[in-house]
């Protein structure tokens, strides 16, 4: 296969995969592909520099070239904190109430995408496959085409695509989607998000869609749009099982629960994850089953994210308040019903925590996929597996229907699901686990990468 060039907002150095904070997501998904095919991972360094020197920082690690640029404070404020995370992120997660529409942040978003194109173009060789990732860089393919790039360029969206009736609230929505049609392949996590995109293209752009092939034809351009559900790095995650770090983490959790059933949630501190609603559901369970406060302990691991965005500061305050209220009402001198941890852990530690927890609680209000759900299943003991409680509105629900599916907005539904999980007999737990583990193992990140890059390589050599 041709060399691979990956472009994303942030870049993860391959050696840091197991480090705290690099939990699943884009980093775990792409490193194996880059190592296999060679190539470049380009993106923002995470650093700010007021002097726009145009310098590209290059380093080579395990066969992969890491290329990064710094952004100015204004770029970060307008492109990243502004348009990407205060406009696109809430809109794509169906949160019109949190979506901000600011002309200046939109200009900053376009400016940074233009800068990405300017800096990465000299690094791209004629036969390279170019793979752009996520909502930060929706128009980047169009910017590269404007600079004469004729390579095959693909794009993958890691978050949901909203229904047309919501998406049209975005100023200049038509222009934004037309820039996306400069890609050769556009990938989505689920069939639902794909269908929402195709509906927009037909209704708002008048595009022709071939349902059988997934081809979108608009203004003489032909693009392949398809669902590619992302998976975990199965081999890497399973390798954590026998590490001392994983065993110690499992033992720490088990010894501290004092024979209570451990229920765990691991989520970025983000309003799309439904954390306050989850705590409400747990509170409802204890209200309805006060005698079971000694049967269950909930551990919520929530590493902070996007702390400069006001809505994220608010979600942290709300979560801490709700957790404190339940603990204040239900704690005894020898127990606390909810443990809230505002930090990240390594993959090995998470493996140990998941294996020691008999219930996994994954209840986002809306999620593109959610790899934590798959990692929880992957970490279970086959002869005595735990129970996954999963939001119906996570992309993973389409692949894992044997989880206990819930409406995360309903405290009663969450409470009922927790009781089902606590009382579920071993035979049923094993049946559900065996159905899910096959999907988690087989639909892994290597297969996801191969499917996407194979389709991209199979498109016609790029147009002018």
Alpha-carbon distances of 185 from 98, 234, 432, 459, rounded to whole Å: 30, 25, 35, 8
CA 44, CA 204: separation in Å to the nearest integer?
33
Pull the structure tokens for residue 133.
């990732």
434 - beta bridge partners?
A: none
In the set 93, 133, 158, 347, the catalytic residue is: 158
CA 238, CA 441: separation in Å to the nearest integer?
10
Pull the structure tokens for residue 313.
């500061």
Alpha helices in 191-230 (DSSP H): 191-205
In the set 367, 402, 413, 443, the catalytic residue is: 367
CA 28, CA 17: separation in Å to the nearest integer?
6
Residues whose CB is less than 8 angstroms from the CB of residue 371 and which lie 6 or more positions away in sequence, other chains included: 24, 25, 28, 230, 231, 232, 396
Residue with tokens 């927890």: 357
Residue 65 main-chain phi, psi, to 5 deg:
-90, 125
> Other C-beta atoms within 10 Å of 321: how many?
11
Helix axes 25-37, 445-457, angle to 10 degrees: 60
Residue with tokens 């880059």: 34
CA 285, CA 419: separation in Å to the nearest integer?
8
Residues whose CB is less than 8 angstroms from the CB of residue 133 and which lie 6 or more positions away in sequence, other chains included: 6, 7, 8, 9, 26, 30, 155, 156, 158
Known catalytic residue at 367 = yes
| CA nearest neighbour of 264 among 366, 385, 388, 383 | 388
> Other C-beta atoms within 10 Å of 163: how many?
15
Q: Evaluate whether 74 touches 347 at the Cβ level (below 8 Å).
A: no
CA 380, CA 429: separation in Å to the nearest integer?
11
Alpha-carbon distances of 410 from 7, 125, 282, 284, 302, rounded to whole Å: 39, 52, 11, 10, 21
Known catalytic residue at 314 = no
| CA nearest neighbour of 432 among 376, 363, 393 | 376
List, by residue number, the catalytic residues. Answer: 158, 367
């Amino acid at each position: 296969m041709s060399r691979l060039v990956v472009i994303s907002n942030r870049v993860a150095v391959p050696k840091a995969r197991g480090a705290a904070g690099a939990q699943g997501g884009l980093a775990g998904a792409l490193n194996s592909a880059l190592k296999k095919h060679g190539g470049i991972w380009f993106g923002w360094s995470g650093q700010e520099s007021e002097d726009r020197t145009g310098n590209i920082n290059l380093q080579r690690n395990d066969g992969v070239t890491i290329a990064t640029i710094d952004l100015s404070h204004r770029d970060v404020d307008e492109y990243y904190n502004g348009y990407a995370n205060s406009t696109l992120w809430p809109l794509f997660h169906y949160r019109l109430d949190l979506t901000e529409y600011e002309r200046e942040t939109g200009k900053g978003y376009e400016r940074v995408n233009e800068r990405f194109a300017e800096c990465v173009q000299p690094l791209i060789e004629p036969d390279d496959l170019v793979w752009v990732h996520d909502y930060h860089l929706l128009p980047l393919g169009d910017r590269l085409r404007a600079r004469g790039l004729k390579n095959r360029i693909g794009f993958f969206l890691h978050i949901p695509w909203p229904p047309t009736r919501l998406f049209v609230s975005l100023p200049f929505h038509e222009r934004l989607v037309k820039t996306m049609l400069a890609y050769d392949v556009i990938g989505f996590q689920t069939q639902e998000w794909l269908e929402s995109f195709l509906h927009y293209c037909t209704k708002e752009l008048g595009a022709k869609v071939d349902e059988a092939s997934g081809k979108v034809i608009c203004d003489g351009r032909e693009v392949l749009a398809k669902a590619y559900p992302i998976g975990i790095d199965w081999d890497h995650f399973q390798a954590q099982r026998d590490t001392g770090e994983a065993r110690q983490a499992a033992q720490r959790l088990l010894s501290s629960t004092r024979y209570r059933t451990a229920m765990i949630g691991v989520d970025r501190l983000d309003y799309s994850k439904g954390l306050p609603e989850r705590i409400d559901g747990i509170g409802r369970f204890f209200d309805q089953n006060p005698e079971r406060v000694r049967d269950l302990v909930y551990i919520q691991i929530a590493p902070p994210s996007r702390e400069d965005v006001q809505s994220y500061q608010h979600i942290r305050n709300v979560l801490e308040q709700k957790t404190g209220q339940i603990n204040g009402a239900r704690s005894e001198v020898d127990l606390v019903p909810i443990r809230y941890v505002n930090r990240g852990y390594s993959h090995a530690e998470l493996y140990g925590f998941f294996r020691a927890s008999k219930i996994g609680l994954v209840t986002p209000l809306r999620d593109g996929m959610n790899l934590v759900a798959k990692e929880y299943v992957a970490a279970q003991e086959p002869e005595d597996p735990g129970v996954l409680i999963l939001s119906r509105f996570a992309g993973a629900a389409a692949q894992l229907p044997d989880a206990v599916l819930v409406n995360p907005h309903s405290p009663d539904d969450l409470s009922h699901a927790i009781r089902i999980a606590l009382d579920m007999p071993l035979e049923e737990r094993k049946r559900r686990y065996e159905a899910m583990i096959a999907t988690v193992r087989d639909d892994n990140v290597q297969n996801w990468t191969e499917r996407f890059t194979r389709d991209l390589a199979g498109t016609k050599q790029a147009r002018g």
